[in-house]
Amino acid sequence: MPRVFVAADIYRKNEIQKIQQNLVSYWNLDNKNLKLVRPENFHFTLVFFGEVNNSILDKIVTKISEIDFDSYKINYGKIGAFPNNNHAKVVWLGLDEETGLAFNGMSDNVVSKLKELDLKFEKEIEKEIIPHITLFRTKKVSLNLNLLDIESDFTISDRVDTISVKKSMTTSHGPIYENIISVKGK
């Protein structure tokens, strides 16, 4: 069974890849300890379901196809880490505060539509979403990163105008995402 999630698609993937490469270089990280996200896989996850059967997938696709939303401009604004800066396993690029609020509004719209299905979500759906694009993960180690040294001197604007239901297929070269359905905003 495929792993399924709902994502907001983005466009400025080459610029995000440059930020990814600059961070690896700035922190002098060894690529053999990292799993870099490929540019074609950059996205904002709205809801992650995990493995679902075709019947549930059809219901998800139907609900997402009913979503009505306005497209909006976003501004990337910060670098962060999960679970925290002292034990970073995931390094991500986030939004500035203003566009983070717009993103959360869209996320709430998607979640309320999907709650009508009464499905079990892989992660607690009530939990506040931190809008982010994963840049890389660490392999078997955690990093102690001083994110305070990273200046948000990059100014990249983008546009969120598409929500997609995606499935993820795992390969030896990393995941490959395929859009099942995409919905355009106004």
Question: Could you give all domains of the chain from N- to C-terminal order, each with its CATH number?
Answer: 3-184 (3.90.1140.10)
pLDDT of res. 184: 96
Is the pLDDT reported for residue 125 higher than 60?
A: no
- Residue 36: CA count within 13 A, CB half-sphere: 17
Name the percent of the chain lying above pLDDT 70.
Answer: 91
Query: In this predicted structure, what is the pLDDT of residue 159?
Result: 94
Checking if the pLDDT of 121 tops 70, the result is no
* pLDDT(148) > 70: no
Assign 134 to helix, strand or coil.
strand
